Amino acid sequence: MVYFQDLIARLSDYWAKKGCAILQPYDLEVGAGTFHPATFFGSLGPQPWKVGYVQPTRRPTDGRYGDNPLRTQHYYQYQVILKPSPDNVQDLYLDSLRAVGLRLEDHDVRFVQDDWESPTLGASGLGWEVWLDSLEVTQFTYFQQMAGFALEPISCEITYGLERICMFLQGRHDLFELQWTKNLTYGQIHKKDEEERCRYNFDTSDTAMLHKLFEMYEAEAKRLLGDEPSAKTLVLPAYEFTLKTSHVFNMLDARGAVSVNERPTYIARVRNLAKRCAQNYLLSLP
């Protein structure tokens, strides 16, 4: 059996052999591997860039109190960035699925259009959800814009949903039943914190505090970025505070504390910070 940890090891091994630097997860709460600086900053600018990494991902509104076999507020993505995107990138991807142990001939593989967009990052691209027997297992995107900047060269982002792919490898239909190792299940590791976080995110969190945090994080990011575009600012710390505002916004959203009207305003505030981070970063490039 391919254990959950084997899947990660096999993907890392595969992409390392294809010339990727295998990085480690980013140590802040993020909603997707795209937020990792290796993707956000890596896709900007002209330099070639090939990386792969696992990214634990937080999406508070997707929580189901551990009650849904496919949806959780915390899960793992495996993220690959290839810049520039190679001509055979689709084949590289399909080969990676074979490399982790999937017999693709036994499945219905489909590339279903997806006009991907991250409104908080001001990022967009075209690509697909890759479906295996009608389940989305990967987001496959040719980035066109990051933080509002048109990209050149184009990066290809491959984001694997690790739990879902592992379900196919292990023949399970509930992610909590996955074997992480021979003796340990995914549920043993994550079920309790899934339930606790859902209760916190949906029912218990202090929205007044979260509102305050949003303001504080935003103010600090702004302070770091300065008033004018500049090559000399502390871009990475500013970006970290941007990520914090994004997560706090997601937490508020999970509590239903953001009205439909306010939503776009909050998102625009985060995006504005991200955009200024990207701008200062580009200015700082040699």
Partner 1 sequence: MKTPPKALENVLFEIGSEELPATNLADIFEQPDNVLELKLKKILESHRIQAGKVTVWATPRRIVAYLESVSAVQEAKEVMTRVLVKEEAYGADGKPSEKLLTILKHRNAALADTVIAEANGKPYVFIKKMEPAQKTAALLGEIFETYLKTLSFPKNMRWDDSGLVFPRPIRSLLCFYGRKPIRLKIGHLIAKSEVWVFSKSRRLRFAVKDIPAYFQILKKNGILLSPVERKQTISQELDRLAKASGARLYDDPFLLSEVNFLVENPGGLSAPFAEEFLKLPMEVLTVSMARKQRLFGLVDREGRVMARFLAVLDGATTDKQKKIIVKNMEGVLRAKLKDSLFFYREDTKVPLTEKRKELASLVFLKGAGSMLEKSERLVKLSETLAEDLGLAPADKKALLRAAFLAKADLLTQMVGEFPELQGIMGKYYSRENGEDEAVASAVGEQYLPRMVSDPLPATPAGAALSLLDKADLLSACFRLGLEPTSSLDPYGLRRSATAILKIILERRMPLSLQRLFVDKKLEDFMKERLKALLTDQGYREDIVEAVLAGPHSDRVYEVSQRASLLSEIAEEVFFMQACKVVERTVNILKGNKEKLPDQVNPAVFTEDLERRVFERYEAFKNKVQQAADKRDFRLATSLYAESFFDILSEFFDKVFVNDEDLNVRKNRLALLCAVKNLYTTNISDLSKIRRFQ
Q: Which residues bind partner 1 (CB under 8 A)?
A: 64, 67-71, 84-85, 87, 90-91, 94, 104-113, 115, 125-128, 132-135, 142, 144, 152-154, 167-168, 173, 259-262
Which is nearer to partner 1, 96 or 185 (by Cβ)? 96
Nearer to partner 1, 85 or 120 (CB): 85
**Nearest to partner 1 of 25, 101 (CB atom):** 101
Shortest distance, position 203 Cβ to partner 1, whole Å: 12
Minimum CB separation from partner 1 for residue 283, in Å?
23
Minimum Å gap between C-beta 133 and partner 1 is 4
Query: Using H for helix, E for strand and C for coil, what is the string for the chain?
Result: CCCHHHHHHHHHHHHHHCCCEECCCCCCCCCCHHHCHHHHCCCCCCCCEEEEEEEEEECHHHCCCCCCCCCCCEEEEEEEEEECCCCCHHHHHHHHHHHCCCCHHHCCEEEEEEEEEECCCCEEEEEEEEEECCEEEEEEEEEEEECCEECCCCCEEEEEEHHHHHHHHHCCCCHHHCECCCCCEHHHHHHHHHHHHHHHHHHHCCHHHHHHHHHHHHHHHHHHHCCCCCCCCCHHHHHHHHHHHHHHHHHHHHCCCCCCCCHHHHHHHHHHHHHHHHHHHHHHCC
Q: Give the shortest CB-71-to-partner 1 separation in angstroms.
A: 6
Q: Considering beta carbons, is residue 118 or 233 the nearer one to partner 1?
A: 118
In the complex, the smallest distance separating the C-beta of residue 152 from partner 1, rounded to whole angstroms, is: 7
Instruction: Compute the least distance from the CB of residue 174 to partner 1, in Å.
Output: 8
Name the residue nearer to partner 1 (CB basis): 89 or 282: 89
Pick the closer one to partner 1 by CB: 221 or 251. Answer: 251
